[in-house]
Amino acid sequence: MSKPPRGFEQSEFESRTERAQQLMRTDEIDAMLLTTEAQVRYFSGFLTQFWQSPTRPWFLLVPLMGKPIAVIPSIGVAGMQQSWIDDIRSWSSPQPQDDGISLLLSTIAELPRRFGRLGMTLGNESYLRMPARDYRNLETELTGLELVDCAELMLKLCSKKSAAEVEKIRYVCELASDSFNALPGFAGIGQSEREILCSMRKDLLDRGADHTPYIVSASGQDGYGDIIMGPTDRILEDGDVLIIDTGSVYDGYFCDFDRNYAFGHASDKTCKAYETVFRSTDAGFAAARPGATTTDVWQAMWSILEAAGARDNDVGRMGHGLGSQLTEWPSLTANDHTTLEAGMVITLEPGMEFEPGKLMVHEENILITESGAEMLTKRAPVEMPVIT
């Protein structure tokens, strides 16, 4: 597919803001105060790597009516001026005595009040990217405004992707799929995990990824025991299985999926585990449609694994949302019960421990459509690829 255009039309941000404001009215929230990269970017389009610097806090206010208001360090003003945001207020940060808090308070004081409630993301899968002390002070100083949790509102809002968002995710899914398919051409016995992943990082760049914030690997004879720690300097040998999991990014949107490779030869038990987890993914895909729940999809995947004698594993779930973050709400678990809706992008990530300390994990990224689901990644090979 051709490279999707960068950024979004202004209508995208208008639509996001209007959808948020509708939910805010339902939840009786006058304004949301947001602090994280994903949140600020969602409403403003402000896309920068500068969030790597943890020093300065950034704030975005989404009022019940009108455009969001940015309250940000002065270093970000030139960048924010390129966005659709008109009302940009700034202070010279870092300023330990008052790092934006008085400016934030005076900005909040100007907002119309209907419900007397200010939303911040306080609940599940949220954190505040600001000093907790300042959050507490804010609460004290916000006379006449109650601080309420809007985490669920934000998770739900961001979980439904627009067509333009889906195109970015699809693009990075496809180019990472191509890179995985090309991997046997640049990986082989005698190389280390680290060397192979370094080559794959470069290949992903060549194919059009902006960068790869996440690429991990694990390997071992017949299987691997962990999926979040690598790469290591371990040298691939005959009989090894290597898993690579990547979250690569195009224009601020992630893919998140993995592929498995055998080196030299693949043992029968490894092939059987691969085949089981492949079928489990198929079952999850077949169950994924609007109206089904995350738990329905989990159950469809788990029943295949269970029938094959799977042992439990420590991952804690078998898939999740994704988009502007590597992992987003909801989670595919035995008790999540979130109803899937068209526009959601999720991962299917069944995994089993088929022997003590030996895992087999597959992952694909899919879009929930009006009628079912669509694969965004190019489906993994039916049989375990063997690199000889």
Which of positions 229-288 make contact with a second copy (CB under 8 A)?
A: 229, 233, 247
Q: Which is nearer to a second copy, 208 or 343 (CB)?
A: 208
1 binds a second copy (CB under 8 A): no
Interatomic CA distance for residues 26 and 191, integer angstroms: 57
Structure tokens of 274? 């691969």
Interatomic CA distance for residues 95 and 163, integer angstroms: 41
Taking CB under 8 A as the binding criterion, the range among 133-141, 179-187, 259-267, 269-277 that sits at the site for a second copy is 133-141
Choosing from 326, 344, 373, 387, the residue that interacts with a second copy (CB under 8 A) is: 326
307 binds a second copy (CB under 8 A): no
CB atoms within 10 A of CB 97: 6
Choosing from 191, 219, 270, 325, the residue that interacts with a second copy (CB under 8 A) is: 325
Choosing from 44, 93, 219, 270, the residue that interacts with a second copy (CB under 8 A) is: 93
5 binds a second copy (CB under 8 A): no
331 binds a second copy (CB under 8 A): yes
Query: Least distance in Å: CB of 304 to a second copy?
Result: 20
# residues contacting a second copy (CB under 8 A) = 73
Maximum CA extent, the chain: 69
Q: Which helix (H) or strand (E) holds 387?
A: strand 386-387
Taking CB under 8 A as the binding criterion, the range among 26-34, 105-113, 115-123, 272-280 that sits at the site for a second copy is 115-123
What are the helix (H) ranges across 183-291? 193-207, 268-287
Asked if 243 contacts 203 with a C-beta cutoff of 8 angstroms, the reply is no
Tell me the HSE value of 38 on the side-chain side, using a 13 A CA sphere. 21
Q: Tell me the CA end-to-end span of the chain in Å, nearest whole number.
A: 31
94 binds a second copy (CB under 8 A): yes
Asked if 332 contacts 349 with a C-beta cutoff of 8 angstroms, the reply is yes
Query: Least distance in Å: CB of 43 to a second copy?
Result: 17
User: 324: burial class by Cβ within 10 Å (0-12, 13-18, 19+)?
Assistant: buried
Q: Which is nearer to a second copy, 56 or 279 (CB)?
A: 56
Binding to a second copy by CB under 8 A, coded x per residue (else -) over 51-80, reads -xxxxx----------------xxxxxxx-
Choosing from 66, 112, 116, 131, the residue that interacts with a second copy (CB under 8 A) is: 131
Positions 186 through 225 that interact with a second copy (CB under 8 A): 198, 201-202, 205, 211-216, 225
382 binds a second copy (CB under 8 A): no
Asked if 347 contacts 363 with a C-beta cutoff of 8 angstroms, the reply is yes
User: Which SS3 state, helix, strand or coil, does residue 355 take?
Assistant: strand
Query: Least distance in Å: CB of 325 to a second copy?
Result: 6
Q: Which is nearer to a second copy, 31 or 80 (CB)?
A: 80
Interatomic CA distance for residues 127 and 35, integer angstroms: 9
